[in-house]
Amino acid sequence: MTAGRIALLAVLSLAASPALAQEEHAVISPDRVGCATGKPEIAIPACGHLIADRALPPDVHAIALRNRGVAYQNRGDLEKALADYEAAIHLGLAANGSKTLLAKTYVNAGMISARKGDEAKALADYASAIALDPSVGVAYLNRAALAEKRGDTAAALADLTQAARFSPKDPAVFVSRGALYANTGDQPHAIADFSTALALDATDANAWRNRASSYRRMGDTAHAAADLAQAIRLAPDVAASHRERAQTLQAGGDTDQAIAEFGRAIALNPSDAEAIKARGDAYLAKGQHDLAIADYTQAIGFDPAFRDAYNNRGAAYIAKADWDHAAADLTKVIELDPTLAAAVFNRGQVLEAKGERDRAIADFDAVIRLQPDMEAAWRHRAFLRHAKGDNPGAVADYAKAIELDPKDAEAWRGRGVAELDSRALDPAVADLTQAIALNANDALAYRFRSQAYGLKKDVVHATQDDTTAIRLNPELVKAAR
């Protein structure tokens, strides 16, 4: 079972291109000056006057449309901004003055389409921008955002590499590519990109925090702590930095300080389900199950589909032997993700503890279909088959468990007991002997081998094993009565 989910970094943002400035003219009217400001309250009416003046040439109309689009975009009026960008584009390259200006207009239009959820239109606009001027790096950056969103990491990485080529001084490109590397597990490349971003802009608290996260994932808590100190110094009220520092403290074994730092993160962002769940993980690690359950419950309240919060709350209930609540939580995890073998396995163990053997076997069947190399699933199913009297099935499952992990003493002992019950005495003695070789303190293995020797009429070995079993576990005397 996974203890927690590492929270995803903010990989890419759909950044607008810089405001499109007004071009030079022999006579600069107040409307032309106002239109170029980018301030919505000034630019929108000024640009409107220019657009309405049919006596002005197309290039002035294009400038006014672009600049009013930026002003609308700054105001958050995306529909009107998009209409202005598309009108400017419709005037064509001659009116827009240069391929670069027209490409940036396509980028802004694409960004708005992406925010509206029209990804096909956004992709078409970014492609048009790149076709006009392949050096406009933000087009690659924004297209990479859409590729990352649909899970196409290769395409996103290719576009970010192009963005880095054409915009080598833009730290946002390297932060974005670094975050993508981090989320795919390539922490060395992520650290390299975050370092490049910091060399370009040492005041970027987000880059410091993201590099710290990569260091933590590599087990380098010292460098992570140093980076987080910088991130928090630059932006002390960012909850994500305190959450990352808490995770770093926990990774370093300082659970108490981690809990305190999670508390600071939660105080800054009380609805941060990730931070609340992570503090629950810290409480769970300390054995404070009720506090862990309270945090997991709160996290689920903010995010009812928070799979890992259900899963870890189920683990806390298992630790309390509260089988019914554990089964309910694990069932919810499986509903959210039927392919999560660990959750199905955990529910199987819970059902086994409740004595619901058939349902437990069904869960272990499912685990074996999902993850056939999970040795413990074969061993648990073998135990249940043996408990139901299916000795051949138990022996076969134990054999598979042993094949997957030849050092699993429990599997050797289990197969030996199943063979003993089938009166296959020599194989039983051999398997129980192997179990003892792997775990010399296994009182049960000695006790069952004693029984096998007894059935073989080998009184000397039977007595020796029985004596050893009782010495290792005196409770076996009571069990024999």
Res. 24: pLDDT tops 70 = no
Which of the four pLDDT bands, split at 50, 70 and 90, describes residue 479? low
Sign of the Cα torsion 363, 365, 367, 369 reads negative
Which of the four pLDDT bands, split at 50, 70 and 90, describes residue 476? confident
What are the pLDDT digits (tens) for 316-328? 999 999 999 999 9
DSSP codes of every residue in 327-375: HHHHHHHHHH-TT-HHHHHHHHHHHHHHT-HHHHHHHHHHHHHH-TT-H
185 — alpha (psi -120 to 50), left (phi > 0) or beta? left
DSSP codes of every residue in 66-116: HHHHHHHHHHT-HHHHHHHHHHHHHTHHHHH-SHHHHHHHHHHHHHHHHHT
User: Mean pLDDT across the chain, nearest whole number?
Assistant: 91
Which of the four pLDDT bands, split at 50, 70 and 90, describes residue 262? very high
5 — alpha (psi -120 to 50), left (phi > 0) or beta? beta
pLDDT at 29: 82
* Mean pLDDT along residues 5-18: 26
Alpha helices in 150-238 (DSSP H): 153-166, 171-183, 187-200, 205-217, 221-234
| DSSP conformational letter for 24 | P
Which of the four pLDDT bands, split at 50, 70 and 90, describes residue 130? very high
pLDDT at 15: 29
Q: Are 125 and 109 in contact (CB under 8 A)?
A: yes
Res. 22: pLDDT tops 80 = no
What are the pLDDT digits (tens) for 69-121? 999 998 999 999 999 999 999 999 999 888 999 999 999 999 999 999 999 99
* Mean pLDDT along residues 236-241: 95
What percentage of residues in the chain have a pLDDT greater than 90? 86
The reported pTM is 0.73
Question: Residue 77, Cα to own-chain centre: how many angstroms?
Answer: 33
How far, in Å, CA of 20 to CA of 38, rounded? Answer: 9
Q: Are 38 and 67 in contact (CB under 8 A)?
A: yes
Q: How far lies 454's CA from each of 46, 351, 386, 459, 474, in Å?
A: 103, 35, 21, 6, 20
